[in-house]
Amino acid sequence: MSAFTYLDHAATTPMRREAVDAMLPYLSEQFANPSGSHRFAREARKAVDDAREVVAGVIGCDPGDVVFTSGGTEGDNTAVLGTVARRGGVAVCPAAEHHAVLAPVEQLHGVEVPVGPTGAVDAATLADVLRSTPDVSVVSVMAVNNEVGSITDLAAVAAVVRECAPAAVLHTDAVQAPCWLDLRSITPLVDMLSLSAHKFGGPKGVGVLVVKPSVRYAPMLIGGGQERERRSGTHNVAGIVALAEALRLTDAERSTEVPRLAGLRDQLVDALCASLPGVHETVPRSHKVAGSAHLCIEDIENEALLFLLDEAGVCASAASACAAGAMEPSHVLAAMGVDRRLGLGALRLTLGRTTTEADVQRGVDAVVASVRRLRKATA
């Protein structure tokens, strides 16, 4: 990996060494099923429950509210589909949500709320929709947008939901939040919250769904009754242990990492805007998380740009990829009202724990050289 400049931390983060070390014993000698009744099982159970306490501490909830899942999609799906399956009613979400929320809401013929120019939903718009939609049972609003990095004012969203749809469950997809925001400031505002370990230095395939005690939903997975019958299936012990360790360290380092990475991000974006004409910052930095740079570059097709960046050893991204792996025009940019042509030149560069100043310099050099080359060829 040393030959690569990894600027795609919003897609996934490199696993932390400490998290790898934490999980290894549970992939080898400590292999017991935590639901068993022998001492060996009890040790595994203790590891899961220790992890649960660590996670609850960082999230700011009761350990009993922590449900371990397979990741962000499961949490998002469960919150939307599970709530409506149990209570009926209408699911509501902003139009710029991750597909893990949008797809279930669409499947349930729910309501999509327009978003503002930053990609975040505006509380007044949400209030209008909630007032005009009878029987709203679940509202799902992301904490941080995965594509453009905008932060939602969840306090305002929560106030609106409690006032206009007091019976509704408020879920937040906080998958992109842990590296940048103190979850303790978010958790008290919502009824459910989803996380995914691989976005903060943990392994893929494990996540958390926070479920407040008042919330009732129909579990997606039923069977053995694990996680207080909220999520059946044998625990991913190694993954859960690693998730907790990664989350603990992320939380401990946040106050130093956020200013460091905000500085590097500013350096990156300022250099690109200064070196290349026709580069637009999609969302003002004051509305975004520290590690996110999202640009729309005029007269560029990002498929071509990503190819050249890849050749230059720079890992970047554009929008989300479709099932076939092709770049798709971004639904987030469309919802924000970004011109479709300009959106074809969307480039997402996301920084994280391992990002250095040298990475930023290599990223700038590669983007500038690639954009100039493409523009020259098509001029």
Partner 1 sequence: MKVLMALSGGVDSSVAAAELLRDGHEVVGITMRLWGGASDTGCCSIADVDDARRVAQQLGIDHLVFNFTDDFDRHVVEPYVQAHRDGITPNPCIECNRHLKFHRLSERADLLGFDAVATGHHARIVEHDGVWRIARGEDVAKDQSYVVHMLPQRELARTMFPIGHLTKAEVRERAAALGLRTAAKPDSQDVCFITSTGGRTEFLGTRIPFRRATVVDAIDGAVLGEAESLEMITLGQRRGIGLPGGGPKRYVVDIDHATATVKVGDDSMLDVTEMSVINMVWSHDAVEGAVLVQCSAHGATYAATVSLAANGSVQVQWQQPQRRIAPGQSVVFYDPTDTFVLGGGIAG
Map the footprint of partner 1 across residues 133-162, applying CB under 8 A: none
From 328, 356, 357, 372, residue interacting with partner 1 (rule: CB under 8 A): 328
Picking from 90, 60, 92, 97, the residue whose alpha carbon sits closest to that of residue 160 is 92
HEC secondary structure over 236-258: CHHHHHHHHHHHHHHHHHHHHHH
**Does 323 interact with partner 1 (rule: CB under 8 A)?**
yes
Strands 192-196 and 207-211: antiparallel
Q: Which is nearer to partner 1, 328 or 339 (CB)?
A: 328
> How many chain residues interact with partner 1 (CB under 8 A)?
15
Minimum distance between the CB of residue 84 and partner 1, rounded to whole angstroms?
Answer: 27
Strand partners, 98: none
If you search the block for the tokens 């092709």, which residue do you land on?
326
From 213, 307, 313, 356, residue interacting with partner 1 (rule: CB under 8 A): 307
How far CA 147 is from CA of 264, 321, 350, in Å, comes to 19, 11, 9
**Does 339 interact with partner 1 (rule: CB under 8 A)?**
no
Q: Which is nearer to partner 1, 221 or 327 (CB)?
A: 327
Q: Which is nearer to partner 1, 124 or 321 (CB)?
A: 321
**Does 342 interact with partner 1 (rule: CB under 8 A)?**
no
Minimum distance between the CB of residue 326 and partner 1, rounded to whole angstroms?
Answer: 4
From 20, 41, 327, 369, residue interacting with partner 1 (rule: CB under 8 A): 327
**Does 322 interact with partner 1 (rule: CB under 8 A)?**
yes
Query: Which phi and psi angles does 114 have, rounded to 5°?
Result: -60, 150
Minimum distance between the CB of residue 176 and partner 1, rounded to whole angstroms?
Answer: 24
Map the footprint of partner 1 across residues 355-374, applying CB under 8 A: 374
**Does 106 interact with partner 1 (rule: CB under 8 A)?**
no
The number of beta carbons lying within 10 Å of the beta carbon of residue 339 is 11
**Does 377 interact with partner 1 (rule: CB under 8 A)?**
yes
Minimum distance between the CB of residue 303 and partner 1, rounded to whole angstroms?
Answer: 6
Query: Which of the residues 93, 164, 273, 322 is marked catalytic?
Result: 322
**Does 324 interact with partner 1 (rule: CB under 8 A)?**
yes
Question: Is residue 265 exposed (0-12), middle (13-18) or buried (19+ Cβ within 10 Å)?
Answer: buried
| Only segment of 191-199, 204-212, 315-323, 346-354 that touches partner 1 (CB under 8 A) | 315-323
The number of beta carbons lying within 10 Å of the beta carbon of residue 325 is 6
Q: Which is nearer to partner 1, 1 or 379 (CB)?
A: 379
Contacts of 242 (CB under 8 A, 6+ apart): 15, 19, 20, 22, 23, 197, 202, 203, 206
**Does 303 interact with partner 1 (rule: CB under 8 A)?**
yes
Identify whether 322 is a catalytic site residue: yes
| Only segment of 65-73, 133-141, 325-333, 345-353 that touches partner 1 (CB under 8 A) | 325-333
Minimum distance between the CB of residue 327 and partner 1, rounded to whole angstroms?
Answer: 5
Q: Which is nearer to partner 1, 27 or 304 (CB)?
A: 304
Picking from 379, 349, 372, 374, the residue whose alpha carbon sits closest to that of residue 5 is 349
Minimum distance between the CB of residue 375 and partner 1, rounded to whole angstroms?
Answer: 10
| Token pair for 89 | 């009613």
| Only segment of 94-102, 165-173, 326-334, 357-365 that touches partner 1 (CB under 8 A) | 326-334
From 308, 312, 334, 342, residue interacting with partner 1 (rule: CB under 8 A): 308
From 3, 38, 325, 379, residue interacting with partner 1 (rule: CB under 8 A): 325
How far CA 51 is from CA of 14, 66, 81, 339, in Å, comes to 20, 10, 27, 45
**Whole-angstrom Cα distance, residue 130 to residue 223?**
35
Q: Are the C-beta atoms of 150 and 144 separated by less than 8 Å?
A: yes
Q: Are the C-beta atoms of 104 and 76 separated by less than 8 Å?
A: yes
Q: Are the C-beta atoms of 344 and 297 separated by less than 8 Å?
A: no
- Residues in contact with partner 1 by CB under 8 A are 303-304, 307-308, 321-328, 374, 377-378
> Where in the sequence numbering do the catalytic residues fall?
322
